[in-house]
Amino acid sequence: MSLLAIDVGNTRLKWALHAAADPGSEPLAQGVVFLEHIEQLAERDWAVLPPPEAMIGCCVAGDTVRRRVQEQLELWDNLPPRWVVPALREAGVSNGYDHPARLGSDRWVALIGAHWRQRQAGDRRPVLVVMVGTAVTVDALDTEGRFLGGLILPGHGIMLRALESGTAGLRVPTGEVVPFPTNTSDALTSGGTYAIAGAIERMHRHLAARCGLAPRVVMSGGAGWKMAPHLSVPHELVDGLIFDGLLAVAEARERARVAAG
């Protein structure tokens, strides 16, 4: 059953069309649009697709944006929107948040994607799931697939805008990441990058101490590539982590439906 997977963040909507709910598979088609361009999807990007048989998505951008996406899905008959809501347990992952449904659905889906990849690889290590988007999240998954908790930080753009709007003297072009910045641009760019790197490295220590095993670090999100050169812990950039998670949820639900007869 062909499946349209959609990840709606606070800056961009990412989508991928898959032939089946088969995590890790290559998409038939995929794309990215900024949220202000959602209205182009039905008339441009999606107009040329073979009609998907099912949809699954996660959305952290609010109800208004979600409705705008649903309007675009009306391009196809009979494609009910199916948005993942974090539960107590799904696809082998359990949710340790105080209020499980209040966890960002993109974080939940990324954790499920990371767990699916661990099982696939036969890797028994805990995992630190890092998503560098509008915000940055650093989430801990133990060896049993338990989400232990995680950090939320401002992303690069938000950090810079906060400093620009809160001061008179910090409106400068983007700089370089260097160990000892000697101008305002470099000081800001390096400050933001090392703040994020420091949070990741700290969480790496927390998780290693909790599990007695150094975690695997998987990093995803539109700005992951900016962080990768500056992390001192070994890590992997995994572009399709959220899509792996969305497909793993769809697959697990399909299996449960078949098993229930």
Ligand X SMILES: Nc1ncnc2c1ncn2[C@@H]1O[C@H](COP(=O)(O)OP(=O)(O)O)[C@@H](O)[C@H]1O
Binding mask 118-137 for ligand PAZ (x = CB under 6 A): ---------------xxx-x
**Contacting ligand PAZ (CB under 6 A), which of 9, 57, 215, 245?**
9
Strands 3-8 vs 54-59: parallel, antiparallel or unpaired: parallel
Amino acid at 100: P
Closer Cβ to ligand X, 157 or 181, answer by number: 157
Question: CA 58 to CA 66: how far, in whole Å?
Answer: 9
Selection from 245, 226, 21, 215 nearest residue 117 by Cα: 245
224 binds K ion (CB under 5 A): no
Q: How many CA atoms lie within 13 A of 222 on its CB side?
A: 18
The binder of 115, among ligand X, ligand PAZ, K ion, none, by C-beta within 5 to 8 A per type, is none
By beta carbon distance, the residue nearest ligand X is 9
Query: Counting Cβ atoms within 10 Å, is residue 3 exposed (0-12), middle (13-18) or buried (19+)?
Result: buried
Cβ count near 243 (within 10 Å): 28
DSSP 83: B
By beta carbon distance, the residue nearest ligand PAZ is 104
The binder of 152, among ligand X, K ion, ligand PAZ, none, by C-beta within 5 to 8 A per type, is ligand PAZ
Selection from 105, 104, 39 nearest residue 73 by Cα: 39
10 binds ligand PAZ (CB under 6 A): yes
Selection from 136, 75, 82 nearest residue 110 by Cα: 136
10 binds ligand X (CB under 6 A): yes
221 binds ligand X (CB under 6 A): yes
107 binds ligand PAZ (CB under 6 A): yes
Q: Where along the sequence are the contacts to ligand X (CB under 6 A)?
A: 9-12, 133-134, 155-157, 221-223
Q: Where along the sequence are the contacts to ligand PAZ (CB under 6 A)?
A: 9-10, 60, 102-104, 106-107, 133-135, 137, 152
